[in-house]
A and B are shown apart, each in its own frame.
Chain A
Amino acid sequence: MENSLKQRRGLQVWFSVMIGLIMIPAMFGLSLGVTSVYIQILVKILEWSTLRIQRGHRDRPTLPVPAPLPNGLIQREGGSMEHEMGELRRYRTQSISRGEFALSDSFYFYRKGLESIVDDQVTQRFSSEELVSWNLLTRTNHNFHYISLRLTVIWGLGVIIRYCVLFPLRITLAIIGLSWLVIGTSLVGFLPNRRVKNWLSELVHLMCYRICARGLSATIQYHNKNNKPQKGGICVANHTSPIDIVILANDGCYAMVGQSHSGLMGVIQRSMVRSCPHVWFERSEMRDRHAVTSRLRAHVAAKSNLPILIFPEGTCINNTSVMMFKKGSFEIGGTIYPVAIKYDPRFGDAFWNSAKYNMVSYLLRMMTSWAIVVNVWYLPPMTRQEGEDATKFANRVKSAIAHQGGLLDMAWDGSLKRDKVKEEFKEHQQKMYSSMVVGKKARTSQEPHTESTKR
């Protein structure tokens, strides 16, 4: 009895010391350097394991384990519709009189269709990136084949360390961080004085986010801090996971924008608003785009308000590409501060696949990864130019972010995760093809077709 009591007390003391050693420096933005040593050790281990796996594949070439192809399964013929149609019709030696149609025209569409069935650019963005080499986590193990005893032992050790040592630590830190956020902001909310209140509010927010970041073993590298978003501006970033907020808020204070939730999230949201203005919308308000825009505009206009943080993609993408930016954020006015966020996938998969995992299981997965290693680039501020419409501006910002973060710049809409694609894209293709059929002649019987299209 006595022994187990002593053991329990010893464990408690050890635990509180660890928490203290991690929390206190975190609150002041300092670091004991433990995490960076940990990351370095991890990198060495992962490099060794990559070499070991490659050697294993070489020694046993009959292993039917194909490595993921970085450029997709097929080589696409990149010709435009016009070019391809021209080639298909080359065999037509007789003169084309009225309509330029060939039975082989459909081959173009057949091939394009089959190519997209085998490998398309869009659907892969809504699931986690496939790693080039296994990073010793069970969850990324797609083609596990036993390679060597040492590798399996290290993997086993990794499981123990991640689940039994790191996970309890991280959960405790996260709980402390969040509770401190709620308590701290509520306390600050009681203060009347403007300046002191703002300063304290920023301090409380920063401390909490830093503790939360430690709760994920997050190593964040900020680049170009001179471009940091200023008050009265709008910060715009690519979206991979809810953790993006923690990552960005570790280095500055932002006014959050989002839907007001009930339950625990609601408690957090309401207490945050007490200390400094954030913009929370009711679900009904979100449908009215004008109301949303005017509220955001009012917030930005008050130059003393913190910069708004917006994710224009509207949904989480898997951090290999940047998808269409919704133009609403770019109609508010003010200065846009673009930020590019790139996670290192070797240490943990940060993408939140909301179709597969709910928030809680996602956070648990995060806390049992090796670590979160992320690069954040602050890009120079951008404003809408004369005569540039919101869509063009949005695309300009998107390209800048994609270029900086080494991500693919895509025009497809992130909401394709859940919604169907718009009919107008198909209509656009039909129009292009029709112009090839009609050609430069026969403008005579050109009445627009009014019947519904047959299938």
Chain B
Amino acid sequence: MGSRASTLLREEEIEEIKKETGFSHSQITRLYSRFTSLDKGENGTLGREDFQRIPELAINPLGDRIINAFFPEGEDQVNFRGFMRTLAHFRPIEDNEKNKDHTASEPLNSRSNKLLFAFRLYDLDRDDKISRDELLQVLRMMVGVNISDEQLGSIADRTIQEADQNGDNSISFNEFIKVLEKVDVEQKMSIRFLH
């Protein structure tokens, strides 16, 4: 029940999460409610099937990739800290944070961290390069059966051609950033959380 859940989140934990992710106190408490409502097994962690139970996510063509982003290398369960850490990438960049002290570690929701998040969703094997195969995989997930192999292949080739600058036939993170430098990442990769 609800009352049990909120008492399990201690004040110190809330403070730590606040420092790490930048969410406010009430946002963290509400997201914890959401976390526990998804946690049908009631063991304090979420598995992949807990995410797949959300219909709107299950019909998202890239749903599986998004779910993967929550689970660190090789693990099957994610706890609340990990959940919040991933969600933090989608926090909007507030104005006061733009002028923040640059010697402090970069916040999770900075422009380049948002782009890194998106980059990692393409780059499945974590070799810091989006290969033609990896790009094709994501493309295939997005278009389903509606486009032929050939056409998809040429789309992938074209995309790599446009982005690739050092001629290794794959897209590195810097090349990725360069291609998308005019995209309003702050707005498009942010979710407006209500207080």
Contacts and interface: CB of A to CB of B under 8 A. Distances in A.
B29 A64 contact: yes
Nearest to B179: A103
A114 B58 contact: no
A442 B154 CA distance: 12
A276 B79 CA distance: 56
A435 B90 CA distance: 28
Interface in B154-171: 154-155, 158-159, 162-163, 171
Given A91-B183, A114-B90, A434 B146 contact: yes
B20 interface: no
Contacts, number: 212
Interface in A427-455: 427, 429-431, 433-435, 437-438, 442, 445-451, 453-455
Interface string A89-121: 001001001110111111111111111111111
A425 interface: yes
A44 interface: no
Given A106-B118, A429-B59, A453-B141, A445 B151 contact: yes
Interface residues of A, number: 73
A265 to B, nearest CB: 28
Contact of A110 (B26, B59, B118, B140): B118
20 contacts: A103-B179, A107-B189, A109-B60, A109-B61, A111-B188, A113-B62, A114-B87, A114-B90, A117-B57, A121-B56, A123-B55, A142-B1, A142-B3, A416-B55, A421-B59, A426-B59, A430-B144, A435-B146, A446-B151, A447-B148
B55 A75 contact: no
B6 A101 contact: no
B146 A431 contact: yes
Contacts of B128: none
A69 B33 CA distance: 12
Contacts of B60: 109, 112-113, 116, 426, 429
A150 interface: no
A121 B30 CA distance: 16
Contacts of B29: 64, 66
B31 interface: yes
Interface residues of B, number: 74
A403 interface: no
Contacts of A447: 148, 150
B126 interface: no
B37 interface: yes
A425 B56 CA distance: 9
B194 A99 contact: no
A426 B58 contact: yes
A363 interface: no
A438 B61 CA distance: 17
Contacts of B194: 69, 71-75
Given A73-B194, A122-B56, A139-B1, 15 more contacts: A64-B29, A66-B30, A98-B158, A103-B176, A111-B188, A116-B54, A117-B54, A127-B37, A420-B58, A429-B59, A430-B146, A437-B142, A437-B147, A438-B147, A449-B146
A141 interface: yes
B19 interface: no
Contacts of A448: 145-146, 148
A87 interface: yes
B55 A433 contact: no
A74 B151 CA distance: 38
Interface string B48-75: 0001111111111111101000000000
Nearest to B58: A421
Given A99-B151, A110-B121, A449-B148, A434 B143 contact: yes
Contacts of A91: 180, 182-183
A106 B142 contact: yes
